[in-house]
Amino acid sequence: MRAISSLNIPLGTVFTWVKRYGRKKYEKLVELWGRAKELVEGKVVAKVVDEMWTYLYKNARAFYKWVFTCYVYTKLGVYLIYSVGDRDESTFLEVKKYLPEEGRWVSDDYNLYFWLKDHTVVSPNNPNESFLIKG
């Protein structure tokens, strides 16, 4: 953005262009997610969901956001659905509304996922545990 603004275009204008273009692309992506839900019906094997946090800076203040991701494994291939927001049910439901009902859920042990039907919890192993001396 700074390189473009060095062409005597204000940085705020460039940022506005990026936001506008990004919003249009996101709307198109959401439309494709809706179509994918119909195309993969009856072919879903698993839905792997997880969340991660990230932060954005604006005027030297950090804004922390959570990204919920869901990889949908089907007999046709894999696709990704995501949503950005707070670490709460509403952000997860934004992802869930684009997912088919069938298929096994796979996730970590975050309590938000316990109410899911046909759910498997996968706990990651800490590779350093074997090196800890106990006792």
Predicted pLDDT of residue 22: 77
Residue 51 CB partners (closer than 8 Å, separation 6+): 66, 67, 68, 69, 87, 92, 110
What pLDDT sits at residue 57?
Answer: 65
The tens place of each residue's pLDDT in the chain, 135 residues long, gives 556 656 677 767 776 777 788 778 888 888 888 888 888 888 999 999 999 988 766 666 767 888 999 999 999 899 999 888 888 999 999 999 999 889 999 998 888 888 888 888 887 665 555 444 444
CA distance linking residue 83 with residue 66, whole number of Å: 8
Query: Distance (Å, rounded) from C-alpha 118 to C-alpha 37?
Result: 18
The one-character DSSP state at 124 is P
Question: Sheet of 78-85: strands edge to edge?
Answer: 78-85, 61-74, 44-58, 104-107, 119-121
pLDDT at 3: 62
Token output for 78: 């894999």
Predicted confidence at residue 41, as pLDDT, reads: 85
